[in-house]
Amino acid sequence: MRTIIEKALGLWEMEGATHRLIAARENRIFRINHNGTAYVLRLHRPNYRSDAELSSELLWMNAVSRGGIHVPTPIASASGEYLHVVEDTRVDVLTWLVGVPLGATGKELKVVDRVGRFHSIGREMAKLHQVSDGWSRPKGFTRPAWDRSGLVGEAPVWDRFWDNPTLSAEDRVLFSEVRHVADAELASLQNSLDYGLVHADLVRENVIVDGGKLQFIDFDDGGFGFRLFDLATTLMPNLYEHDFPALQAALLEGYRDAREIDTGPLDLFMLLRSATYVGWIITRMDEIGSDARNARFVGRTRMLANGYLANRAS
Residue pLDDT, tens place only, 149-172: 999 999 999 999 999 999 999 999
Residue pLDDT, tens place only, 199-256: 999 999 999 999 999 999 999 999 999 999 999 999 999 999 999 999 999 999 999 9
Lowest mean per-residue pLDDT among 61-65, 254-258, 283-287: 283-287
Q: Report which of 29, 18, 82, 22 is spatially closest to residue 220, judged by C-alpha positions.
A: 29
Distance CA 190, CA 197 (A): 15
Domains and CATH numbers, the chain: 2-96 (3.30.200.20), 101-313 (3.90.1200.10)
pLDDT of residue 133: 98
pLDDT of residue 314: 76
Distance CA 189, CA 181 (A): 12
pLDDT of residue 265: 97
- Buried b or exposed e, range 183-206, using 16+ CB within 10 angstroms: eebbeebeeebbbebbbbbbbbbb
